[in-house]
Amino acid sequence: MNSIAGTLAQVASDLRAVLSDDGVAGLAEGERAEVLRGFGEVSRLVDAGIVETVATADVEFGHRFGCRGMNELLQRALLTDAPSASKIVKAADLVHRDMNIVSGERLPARWPALREALLDGAVEIAGLLAATNPIEYARTRIGVDERLWADEVLASHARGSSGWGDSAAGDDPADGGAYAAATGVDADADSAGPDADADADIDGDGAGADVGTDAAGPPATADDLRQLAAALAMILDPDGAEPTDRDAQQGRFLNLGRLHRGAHRLAGSVTPEVAAQLQVIFDAFNNPKVGGAPAPGVTFTEAGTGGDADAAGDEFNTDPRNVIDPRTPGQKRHDALAAVLGIAARHEDMPTLGGAAPTLVVHVDAKDLAAGTGWATVPGSGAPVPLSVAAHTACTGAIQRVLFDEGRIVGITTTDRVFTVHQRRAIIARDRECLIPGCHVPASWCEIHHVTEHARGGPTHTDNGVPLCWWHHRSLGNSGWEVRMNAGVPQIRGPAWWDPTQQWRTPRLSAPSAPARHTVLRT
């Protein structure tokens, strides 16, 4: 066994001993933080050792051990997965040093300063890739001197130095100004010479601290390096926006995956402006208080009672357990997208499909719909869905009955059950928000729910319609919330965890003595 392998075996043995006596579990908080930092340093040095071992091997190394290449060898030797092995190979390419065929000496790496930081344990594989990816992306448009300058800056940042040190491009005032713009540190002091800033006071305390590589700060994380590298890439490649945009346009895509466990995976890459538009839409749906708290909120009174005195002490206007909306942020974004698609499909500017607006179609057997049992199918997806999905879809749309006789269509009837635009405006003016307490999605974004189902004789009338956001409409059948109309006034009965008394309560606006609301229509 060679000395390096023996040393590693001893390190592994020592670490195994540390972990075997359950000493980590008994650490105090301060000691635990120190141990984490220590393990972090060991982890970075292990990364450096793995990368350097791969970087100094020849291209046939993996083949000689019966593997298809270095990636497979790494998977087997390190017991890791293919993506992790690929990152190691990529990092090794960045710090690989070619051999001088004349002298046999190794030439400098493509990123020499970052290689030294890697070997010193100042940066790990993720940090190395984060620091180099933005500049490697524009490598054909960035010169060697500029890249080496960025290498010095990033390595210094990784070590926690606020200065940028000497570099191949360090004497160029434009470069110094570029770095100042990217990091907020004036690089002119360094470029002017080692003594030019001896009296500089960066803290304002008269200490005359030197602005340079000796001004230590906290080491940079991988995200810190990524942000700085992106800023440097923009400086070094000021014309890179156009080719970057062309790449983004060329690489944009959206794929709707196959059905898996009852859901479809949505994957793709969208351009920045589309992502930004989606984000503000998500914010609008999922953060209705961005512009301030809704005015007013929702409170409840006993059915048939009035007056504002009851509102002040209404114990049902709180949610101490935070269980009214148990969705994750990702689930909320999904539901916001579902609502957006429904609004877009109804919009007058939406192109028609077969002479009609793009319409979600759900197939269900009439007997199953009447009985409330069975399955429905979504033709565009081919997925079987619960009957509740068909009921949800039918509640805000139309039902078209198709009668078959041994495969032949012998009858078609259509029942329109869509609230008119005028009815929607009136319901929005009355209720203002999703009817479920604690949900402040504006009524204009909601679907209008038939309180008494249309299939059971419920009319498409303002006395039978209430606004429910997509999620609460979709889950109404099994969420425990109930809705009824009392002389045209909506009432709510919540689940037992929310209201142990299970009383019907009338949602109303919490503004005291709210005047009668009128809707003014402009044409």
The DSSP secondary structure of 349-367, one letter per residue, reads TSPPBTTB------EE-HH
pLDDT confidence of residue 194: 34
Which residues, other chains included, contact 370 with Cβ-Cβ below 8 Å and sequence gap of 6+? 455
Round to whole Å and give the CA distance between 298 and 438.
7
Peptide bond into 296 cis (omega under 30): yes
Convert 72-89 to b/e letters by CB count within 10 Å (16 or more is b): bbbbeeeeeeeeebebbb
pLDDT digits (tens, 9 = 90+) for 237-285: 876 666 666 676 677 777 878 878 878 888 888 766 667 667 767 766 6
Q: Which residues of 217-319 form beta strands (DSSP E)?
A: 253-260, 263-269, 298-302
pLDDT of residue 374: 66
pLDDT in the model for residue 423:
85
The DSSP H or E segment spanning 348 is: none
Per-residue pLDDT, 477:
78
Low-confidence residues of the chain, pLDDT below 70?
Answer: 1-2, 162-216, 239-246, 248-249, 271-274, 276-277, 280, 283-326, 342, 345-362, 364, 366, 369-370, 372-418, 454-455, 508-523
Strand 489-493: give its sheet, edge to edge. 298-302, 505-509, 489-493, 482-486
What are the Cα distances from residue 397, in Å, to 118, 185, 234, 353, 504? Answer: 61, 61, 50, 16, 28
**Residues in contact with 187: Cβ distance below 8 Å, sequence separation at least 6, in sequence order:** 163, 164, 170, 175, 176, 177, 179, 180
**pLDDT at 34 (0 to 100):** 92
- Cβ(86)–Cβ(45) below 8 Å: no
Buried b (16+ CB within 10 A) or exposed e, 227-243: bbbbbbbbbbbeebeee
Helices 82-95 and 29-55, axial angle in degrees (round to 10): 70
Report the distance separating Cα 512 and Cα 267, nearest Å. Answer: 48
What local confidence, expressed as pLDDT, does residue 258 receive?
80
Cα–Cα distance, 131 to 99 (Å, whole number):
25
Residue 296, pLDDT score = 37
Contact 244, 229 (CB under 8 A): no
- Dist CA 393 CA 376 (whole Å): 11
Confidence (pLDDT) at 295: 35
Amino acid identity at 68: R
Place of tokens 């305390």: 205
The predicted pLDDT at position 380 comes to 56
How far apart are the C-alpha atoms of 298 and 332, rounded to whole Å?
21
Q: Residue 514's pLDDT is what?
A: 41
pLDDT given at position 340: 76
**Maximum CA extent, the chain:** 98
Is the separation of the CB atoms in 272 and 477 below 8 Å? no
Which of 436, 434, 453, 435 has the alpha carbon at shortest distance from 445?
Answer: 434
Spatial CB neighbours of 371, under 8 Å, sequence gap ≥ 6:
none
Q: What is the CA radius of gyration of the chain?
A: 33
pLDDT reported for residue 491 = 92
158-194 tens-digit pLDDT? 998 754 444 333 444 344 444 444 444 343 333 333 3
Which residue has 């070619």 as its token pair?
98
The pLDDT value recorded for residue 125 is: 96
Q: What is the pLDDT of residue 396?
A: 53
